[in-house]
């Protein structure tokens, strides 16, 4: 994959603090963070597309999520209880 250069500005104080850690490859750190952020954004975009036709309300989702959490908690309590 061919690399290209991208330039951006950061506050002077942030740059000064970065210089306190010369062992860190800041370019690689930023590349990794951008890649991770893009992956999350792509997942969110796909989820938005999937959910765009949903008739569930936010309240419906919260209610269902609470039921799922309660069910999982009961399952794990049984598993942990069996190990004692």
Total tally of structural domains belonging to the chain? 2
- Per-residue pLDDT of 18-68, as tens digits, reads 999 999 999 999 999 999 999 999 999 999 998 888 899 889 999 999 999
Do 10 and 49 lie in one domain? The reply is yes
Task: Clarify whether residues 65 and 45 are in a common domain.
Answer: no
**Nearby residues of 64 by Cβ (< 8 Å), 6 or more positions away:** 56
pTM of the model as a whole: 0.62
Domain containing residue 32:
1-53
**Do 42 and 62 belong together in one domain?**
no
Find out whether 55 and 61 touch, Cβ atoms under 8 Å: no
């Amino acid at each position: 994959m061919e690399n290209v250069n991208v330039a951006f500005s950061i506050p002077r104080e942030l740059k000064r603090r970065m210089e306190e850690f010369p062992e860190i490859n800041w370019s690689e750190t930023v590349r990794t963070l951008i890649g991770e952020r893009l992956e999350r954004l792509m997942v969110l975009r796909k989820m938005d597309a999937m959910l765009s036709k949903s008739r569930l309300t936010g309240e419906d989702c919260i209610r269902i999520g609470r039921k799922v959490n309660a069910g999982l908690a009961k399952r794990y309590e049984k598993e942990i209880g069996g190990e004692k």
